[in-house]
Amino acid sequence: MVRAFRVYDTLAGEVRPFVPRVAPRIGLFVCGVTPYAEAHIGHGRTAITFDVVARALRRWGYRVLYVQNVTNLDDRLIVRGLAEGRDPLELAEFHFQGWLRAMDQLEARSVNVYPFATDYLPEIIEQISALLGRGFAYAVDGDVYYSVAKFPDYGRLSGQRVEALRPGARIEVDPKKRAPEDFALWKTAKPGEPAWPSPWGPGRPGWHIEDTAITARLLGNQYDLHGGGTDLKFPHHEAEIAQAEGASGQKPLVNYWMHAGMLQMHGEKMAKSVGNVIGLDETIRRVGAEVLRFYYLNAHYRSPLNYEEGKSLEEAREGLATLAAPYRRLREEILRGGLTRPGRELPPEVARTATALPHRLDGILAEDFQTREAIAALYGWGRTLGEWGSKLETLSGAALVTLGAPYRWATEVLGLFPERTSGKAPPEFASLVQVALEARSRARARGDFGEADHIRQALLKAGIVLEDHSTETRWQWKRDGSG
């Protein structure tokens, strides 16, 4: 049975119970990067926010299809490509590979599909044609625009009023438009730019239409959850709603909107266009991926996160060291004596507390993904372990494993405390893995694929990789620890 949870829905303006369209499946789409340059740590915050969302949902028994698009062609890529003498598509691929490496280092591997915008040109053209046919768009000299006046709900998500809109940084000033707030669905080709054939002449898609064409294909005309940074509410997410609902005639596009707060520097949003960015790769090299991940999670995802050079990440380093110290001590004891070492068992009340804490942590996260509060609870458990002192040396292997349950939860859901050492699996793992495989087999036999996937992921965190064959499931040890 899946776990109930609540989430702050931007459109509703309140925290409300999450009800999947078709339980236990959840379709999740998050606006991804435009890889025209190296990603910065502001991008990383949004990615880690929704990595935790996907991790938690899967732990709770949901079958999540997580899609994060890649805008591999837009004005910025074209301008940067011309400046560097590189093909824009090749430039996008280069920086996207860098993004994947950073995500791997940050333990953010929950995305199922990274669709590239240029791979969905037929779907984009189909959606634009539908908007023209339904009267939501108009074509002028090879360009196609969305007529915002035709969609009365435009502005509901962001709270913007259409009549108050004026041309600005993201509203094109174009004499072909019927109104300043109208936005481009298709742009006619300019000399030297990449172009594709269309019913309106050679050109390329606008920014907004790429995402809704992708989601219509992969998640359907309506799906469960859309995420992104708060800076995308207007105009991007407003445009997505207008396009998708206008083209399909079905509403709502999504049942829940989640927006992560911006990373700020000197009180201003971190952005390449502003020039106040700190590179993601550079930061990972300098302070370590786990410190950066902890920095993101030690705040509620909806809150702005202020970055202070020389202070923020140093505080995160110290905070993580304090949080990890008790668990490191536990692991050292387990490695010294093994999982089956004899010794004292835990007092019943301590064992119950250790076993119950992961469920309590689930409950904290189930109330709008309060990672900071979950980390606070882990600090409290660390203080409890600290009171044991040298008594840890007298405990049995099973008792030590029980005490580590809250930290294993943190590895599974928060992505903290990863280990990447390689070697042979301890002999006692074979019998433990066999028990897990039998449980997984029973789950699959009764059709509980969410539980089966949960067991696979739990084994992966322990370094056990499963390979399903026609008549059996084989396993092999890849490395010790999570990830």
Q: What pLDDT shows up at residue 219?
A: 97
Same domain, 375 and 462: no
Same domain, 383 and 266: no
Q: What pLDDT shows up at residue 176?
A: 87
Angle at CA 80, nearest 5°, toward 78 and 86?
80
Same domain, 378 and 273: no
Distance CA 455, CA 338 (A): 22
What total of structural domains would you count in the chain?
3
Tokens 């009365």 correspond to: 152
**What tens digit of pLDDT does each residue of 288-302 get?**
999 999 999 999 999
Same domain, 294 and 384: no
State both tokens at 14. 């309140």
State both tokens at 113. 């599909």
Q: Residue 326: inside a domain, yes or no?
A: no
Same domain, 300 and 373: no
Q: What pLDDT shows up at residue 340?
A: 79
Same domain, 47 and 23: yes
Per the model's pLDDT, the better-predicted residue between 391 and 117 turns out to be 117
215 pLDDT more than 70: yes
Same domain, 274 and 393: no
- Where residue 275 falls (left for φ over 0; alpha for ψ -120 to 50; beta otherwise) is left
CB 72 within 8 A of CB 92: yes
Q: What pLDDT shows up at residue 258?
A: 98
**What tens digit of pLDDT does each residue of 108-123 get?**
999 999 999 999 999 9
Same domain, 376 and 231: no
Q: Please give the model's pTM, rounded to 2 decimal places.
A: 0.85
Concatenating the DSSP letter of every residue in 191-248 gives TTS--B--TT-SEEE-HHHHHHHHHHHHT-SSEEEEEEEGGGIIIIIHHHHHHHHHHH
Distance CA 404, CA 417 (A): 12
Q: Residue 483: inside a domain, yes or no?
A: no
With a pLDDT cut of 90, the percent of the chain lying above it is: 70
**What tens digit of pLDDT does each residue of 258-275 get?**
999 999 987 777 776 666
CB 236 within 8 A of CB 123: no
Distance CA 146, CA 141 (A): 15
State both tokens at 229. 């940074």
**What tens digit of pLDDT does each residue of 393-443 get?**
899 888 999 999 999 999 999 999 986 544 455 555 565 677 777 778 777
Q: Where is the domain boundary, 362, 389, 414?
A: 414
Domain around 440: 429-477
Same domain, 105 and 25: yes
Rg (CA), the chain: 25
Cα 412 to Cα 57, 222, 348, 480: the distances in Å are 11, 30, 25, 14
- Where residue 249 falls (left for φ over 0; alpha for ψ -120 to 50; beta otherwise) is left
Same domain, 89 and 230: yes
